[in-house]
Amino acid sequence: MKIIRISSILIFTLCLFLSCNKKEGAKPLITDINNNPNWTQKFPGVWETSVNTPSEVNLLSAVEAKPRAEVLKTFSEESFPVEKSEIKVYTKNGKTHIRFPLDDKEQIYGLGLNFKTVHQRGRIMKLHMDHYTGRDEGRTHAPTPFFASSKGYGVLINSAKYIDVYVGTGVTKDSKNPAESRDRNTSKNWNPRPKSDNLELIVPDNGVEIVMFSGKDVQETVQRFNLYCGGGFVPPKWGLGFWQRTPTLYDEHAVQEEVDGFTKNNFPLDVVGLEPGWHSKSYPCTFEWDKTRFPNPDAFVNKMTNQGIRLNSWINPFVSPSASIFESIKPYTGTHTVWTGIVPDFTMPEAIKIMSDHFQKEVISKGVSGLKIDEVDGYDVWLWPDSAQFPSGLDGEMMRSIYGSLVQKWSTDMYRKINQRTYGLVRASNVGSVSYPYVIYNDYYRHQDFITALINSSFTGTLWTPEVRSSGSPEDWIRRMQSVCFSPMAMLNAWADGTKPWSYPEVYKYCQDVAFLRMQLLPYIYSTFSEYYLKGIPPFRAMAMEEGFSFNEVVEDGELSSTNNPYKEAVKKEIKDQYMMGESILVAPMFADQKTRTVVLPKGKWFDFYTGAYVGDGEIITASHGLDKIPLYVKDGAIIPMMKQIKNTSEWTPQTDLEVRVYGSKSHEFVLYDDDGESFDYEKGEYTQKVLSTSIVSGKLNGTIKDLKDGKSWSYRNLRWNFMSK
Ligand code: GAL
């Protein structure tokens, strides 16, 4: 009995001891980790998973983006590109956390239209639709939640919420590849940012859809992403000519004088942009012609069309109380106004119908070829707040993320109805808009950053124009003109300043030269765009997508100072000022203050575009082109189809002589594409392809052309091979 009592006392004391030692509150840090989300393979190299119950509306569903299944199926089978158990997913307090492993040398691209950086590793961002703020912090015109890894995979987080991303900044305590611990007291190599082994995202939602893409390289990963989100598109031929946007209050006479000025000064022109003054009221807009400036819009548009000039009309979609549709659309608009205009809910068929009927009457039936859809990105101070509600049930946050995509879909569908391609401008876009024929632009104007944005657009499924407005000097003017002529939309946006290509007479000759060079290159550029549609390859793309390109980031020691920076942050240098236009041309723009610049050539032989001379192989060269030229380099074997100098794409007729330039000594093939240039019939397979190929015959390169796909349209005759590298 006694023994039993003593042992019970002992057990009780032990339990008491143990329970006192159990730390209160030390709960498991993360419960519910879904270490193995169920990935379903959808296409070769494409897998989807759905965590918990995602919101019904997401970036892709908002615009009914459908994968281009017939093309995706032609890609090769791949194994899942990341160790599945290393992808951690859990939901806590209404937020879904996703973590991907990162290797020490892995680089990350994408995560929105950034303007200052191409390498995203080391950044912290909140992806949020906005006018670019001047810092790569996630607020931008295309805050696309997609990243591509240098290891050959990419991930799309298909959510219309504002997403937090920590790209290789966090360090987990259970890391399999931990950072070395150093003592700052004694070690010079103490690092304020010990290496991180992961990329983490936080989606403020109870669930989310994730899509994984693999690729043999960054480009193939991006191709799969683009095709999964709907593929690319081929713009109308006129869209690739030169664009001039006229000052806001120009009337029909001033516009005609502008067009005459282009003829007189011998400068290419295809499109004239009308800015807010074409509306009877703007900010908010009526979408009805101002009868004092344009008394007879039908006759005006007709007159322009007869001169080969297309019109593009500026709008923002905020409906003025003076608009004839104000009362009818009111029930289908959000709780908040923008500049006193009501905001149509473009997810609702009723709103779409009212806007479409109105635009059909005022814009499309008149013959206007496209729109510039402004201010759909927002500035927090004037856009609807996140608390806004829309009649479809969407809140302000989700609507802001998808609004740019919705207006692209709405407007493209109107042109699709009349089987006429359009090409326009939009200030907000997102995942899901890759098949819509729009180019992003903004009010920010740093030339260098415009080029970095052009590079990054290739990771976001969007296009970007480094538009020219005005300049502090002739040098700045010509350097900007050169860049814009090597972009998806060669546009001078003179809405505020009334500048013309000849505004800086000192460099006018060089402006003409580069604009005509673009026109000459249209057969190459148009074929490049066909690859965007047929294969999802971005027409203007980052060097990271180019085979043989490697540039190890240069990391320099940062400054240590007690007042500014006690952490001695490293300074990284990366390549963010050169890019590829199509498969063969490397563009290295120069900026106003530069007399020389360096260019990093990928491995393989490279040649000067203008002379055909050999310039280097996988090395860093110095370009010292004067103001008369933009540095352009061409790959060994490149085949570049060009035509005569034309002023308007209506001259790109079935009788155009073709000059095919060949660079270097390697045999190669180029698929020259053509179609009617205007309708959507190319999507039904109505296009022509011929293969231009070179091979070595008796020690010399020889060129031949053969049919690949028959179609009705073919614009060329009298092919002349021009072997540039003698
Ligand atoms: C800005 C736009 C400019 C110009 C202007 C007209 O928002 O970015 O390109 O269109 O509006 O008011």
The confidence score (pLDDT) of residue 6 equals 53
Nearest CA, atom 5, ligand 1: 495
pTM (2 d.p.) = 0.95
**Can you tell me which atom of ligand 1 is nearest the CA of 495?**
4
pLDDT band at 16 (very low <50, low <70, confident <90, very high): very low
Q: Give the CA distances from residue 23 to residues 15, 28, 29, 174, 320, in Å, rounded to whole numbers and listed in that order.
A: 14, 12, 14, 20, 63
Distance 379 CA to ligand 1 centre (A): 13
Checking if the pLDDT of 647 tops 60, the result is: yes
Q: If you measure from the C-alpha of residue 308 to the centroid of ligand 1, how many angstroms do you get, rounded to a whole number?
A: 25
Q: What atom in ligand 1 is closest to the CA of residue 442?
A: 8
> Which one has a higher pLDDT value, 379 or 556?
379
* Res 23 pLDDT > 90: no
Output the residue whose Cα is nearest ligand 1's atom 3. 443
Q: How far is the CA of 373 from the centre of ligand 1 (A)?
A: 10
Specify the residue with its C-alpha closest to ligand 1, atom 4.
Answer: 495
CB-based contact 361:405 (threshold 8 Å): no
| Beta carbons within 8 Å of 215's beta carbon, 6+ residues apart | 45, 78, 148, 152, 153, 154, 221, 222, 223, 224
Dist. CA 454 → ligand 1 center (Å)? 20
Cα–Cα distances (Å) from 671 to 579, 674, 715, in that order, read 21, 10, 14
pLDDT tens, position by position, 614-627: 999 999 999 999 99
Ligand 1 atom at shortest distance from the alpha carbon of 248? 6
CA of 61 from ligand 1 middle (Å) equals: 29
Tell me how far the alpha carbon of residue 316 lies from the centroid of ligand 1, in angstroms.
Answer: 9
Look up residue 465 and give its two tokens.
């124009």
What is each CA distance from 227 to 450, 462, 614, 670, in whole angstroms?
26, 13, 36, 22
CA of 23 to the centre of ligand 1 (A): 61
HSE on the CB side for 264, CA within 13 Å? 8
**Nearest-angstrom CA–CA distance, 276 and 495:** 9
pLDDT for 10 equals 52
User: In a mutational test of the pocket of ligand 1, which residue from 141, 245, 274, 374 has the highest number of ligand atoms less than 8 Å from its CB?
Assistant: 374
**Separation between Cα atoms, residue 241 and residue 522, nearest integer Å:** 8
Is residue 31's pLDDT more than 60?
A: no
Confidence at residue 18, expressed as pLDDT on a 0 to 100 scale: 47
Buried b (16+ CB within 10 A) or exposed e, 588-619: bbbbbeeeebebbbbebbbbbbeebeebeeee
Write phi, then psi, for 620 (nearest 5 degrees).
Answer: -100, 120
For ligand 1, mutation pick of 272, 373, 443 (most atoms within 8 Å of CB) = 443
Report DSSP state, residue 311: E
Return the ligand 1 atom nearest residue 282 CA: 12
pLDDT at 15: 47
Cis check for the bond before 641: say yes or no (omega within 30 of 0): no
Condensed to tens digits (0 to 9), the pLDDT of residues 567-587 reads: 777 777 899 999 999 999 999
pLDDT at 567: 78
pLDDT tens, position by position, 331-358: 999 999 999 999 999 999 999 999 999 9
Strands (E), 546-648: 554-556, 571-573, 579-581, 585-587, 597-600, 605-608, 614-617, 620-623, 632-635, 639-643
CA 626 to chain centre: 30
DSSP 8-state secondary structure symbol assigned to residue 243: E
Residues with CB under 6 A from ligand 1: 275-276, 314, 374-375, 443, 493, 495
Instruction: Give me ligand 1 centre to Cα 442, in Å.
Output: 8
Q: What integer best gives the mean pLDDT of the chain?
A: 94
Residue 95's contacts (CB-CB under 8 Å, 6 or more residues apart) are 202, 203, 204, 205
What are the tens digits of pLDDT across the range 303-322?
A: 999 999 999 999 999 999 99
- At residue 210's C-alpha, the angle toward residues 207 and 212, to 5°, is 165
Query: Given pLDDT bands bounded at 50, 70 and 90, which one contains residue 190?
Result: confident
Mode of pairing for the β-strands spanning 490-493 and 438-440: unpaired
For residue range 413-469, what is the model confidence (pLDDT) as tens digits? 999 999 999 999 999 999 999 999 999 999 999 999 999 999 999 999 999 999 999
Instruction: Provide the pLDDT for residue 654.
Output: 84
The arithmetic mean of pLDDT across residues 657-678, rounded, is 97
Q: pLDDT for 596-613, tens place per residue? A: 999 999 999 999 999 999
CA of 315 to the centre of ligand 1 (A): 9
For residue 496, the CA-to-ligand 1 centroid distance in Å is 8
Q: Give me ligand 1 centre to Cα 381, in Å.
A: 17
Sequence-separated (6 or more) residues with CB below 8 Å from residue 147? 108, 109, 110, 111, 120, 154, 155, 167, 199, 459
Asked if residues 639 and 670 have their Cβ atoms less than 8 Å apart, the reply is yes
User: Is pLDDT above 50 for 707?
Assistant: yes
Task: Give the model's pLDDT for residue 25.
Answer: 66
Amino acid at 680: F
CA of 495 from ligand 1 middle (Å) equals 7
Q: Whose CA is nearest to atom 11 of ligand 1?
A: 374
pLDDT at 1 over 50: no
Mean pLDDT (whole number) for 483-496:
98
| SS3 assignment, position 312 | strand
Pocket test for ligand 1, best of 132, 244, 275 (most atoms within 8 A of CB): 275
559 C-alpha vs ligand 1 centroid, how far in Å? Answer: 40
Q: Which atom of ligand 1 is nearest to the CA of 283?
A: 12
Cβ contact 402:58 at 8 Å? no
pLDDT of residue 563: 77
Q: From CA 220, how far away is CA 209, in angstroms rounded?
A: 22
Residue with CA nearest ligand 1 atom 12: 276
Residue 21 above 70 pLDDT?
no
Question: Among 249, 465, 495, 499, which is best to mutate for testing ligand 1, by the most ligand atoms less than 8 A from CB?
Answer: 495
pLDDT over threshold 50, residue 689? yes
Output the six-digit token pair for 459: 């990771």
For ligand 1, mutation pick of 274, 283, 285, 314 (most atoms within 8 Å of CB) = 314
Contact predicate 477/504, CB 8 Å: yes
Distances (CA, A) of 432 to 59, 144, 158, 191, 225: 6, 9, 9, 40, 10
Q: Distance from the CA of 440 to the center of ligand 1, in angstroms?
A: 12
* pLDDT average, residue stretch 80-91: 93
Sort strands 585-587 and 632-635 into parallel, antiparallel or unpaired: antiparallel
Encoded amino acid at 286, one letter: T
Nearest to 64 by CA among 347, 317, 333: 347
Instruction: Summarize the confidence of residues 667-695 as an average pLDDT.
Output: 98
pLDDT in tens, 512-538: 999 999 999 999 999 999 999 999 999
As a whole number of angstroms, the distance between CA 457 and CA 184 comes to 40
C-beta of residue 143 within 8 angstroms of C-beta of residue 129:
yes
Closest approach atom of ligand 1 to CA 372? 10
Contact present, 98 and 432 (Cβ < 8 Å): no
Strand (E) or helix (H) holding 399: helix 396-417
CB atoms within 10 A of CB 497: 13
